[in-house]
Amino acid sequence: MLKEKNAVITGARRGIGRATVECFAKYGANVWACARKPDEAFEQDMAELAREYGVWIKPVYFDLMDSAELTAAVKRILAEKLPVDVLVNNAGVPHGGTLFTTSAAKLQEVFAVNFFAQISLMQYFGKYMLRRKSGSIINIASVGGLEHEPGYLAYGSSKAALIWATRSCAKEMALHGVRVNGVAPGLVSTEMGAYRTQAELDKVLARTPAGRMGNPEEIAEAVAFLASGRASYITGEILSADGGRL
């Protein structure tokens, strides 16, 4: 499905990002697997996936909150003179807090990672894709950006902004052969999907007809579909992968 495609995937160390790297490799894609800090275990994991699926996977390290590091990482990738066919903006940070318990500093921190860094990567790689008149960008949003629940001001607002940007940028780039879509996961079994109390978890599960958490692999499959030629007529879509969450 993704044979000989080259993809940049952020937040590749664990959770949905790691599952997406493996899913893309399984379907034949090469990957620049982006993480914040160098890690021997991560590099070994990526090397094992590359051997298993017969592709190359190159770890790339940068902090999304450091614009200089982000820019340098993009330049390193583009300097390889290989086509960048897909960008998966997966990395993000969670935060729970109400209007009166969320500081301005925390709001800025969450937006820096969940929104501004994603936009920067879309600008860098999107400009490259426009020149090639081909490419697919998938932003990992959240049902938290579609719902209006109290207690997640910074996180929900940042994801809502990303959803708006996804739809807007899709319209900008559609005529130039670049598709921009989003996936909005519901409750997924990852570190970010962990709730503070069992009562909070039970409340969300009660609103989920599937009656369970999703798996990172299920989200990764949705991302792979949107990245592939099978979704060639889909752009500006926010695909909710949430077990039917009400």
Active site residues: 155
Gap between the Cα atoms of 70 and 124, Å rounded: 10
- Number of neighbours of residue 165 by Cβ within 10 angstroms: 18
- Both tokens of 10, joined, read 């952020």
Please, what is the Cα angle at 235 between 231 and 241, to 5 degrees? 70
Q: Are 163 and 114 in contact (CB under 8 A)?
A: no
DSSP character for 179?
E
First vs last C-alpha separation in the chain: 32
Beta bridge partners of 61: 35
- Nearest residue to 100 via CA among 153, 143, 46, 165: 153
Question: Are the beta carbons of 106 and 97 closer than 8 angstroms?
Answer: yes
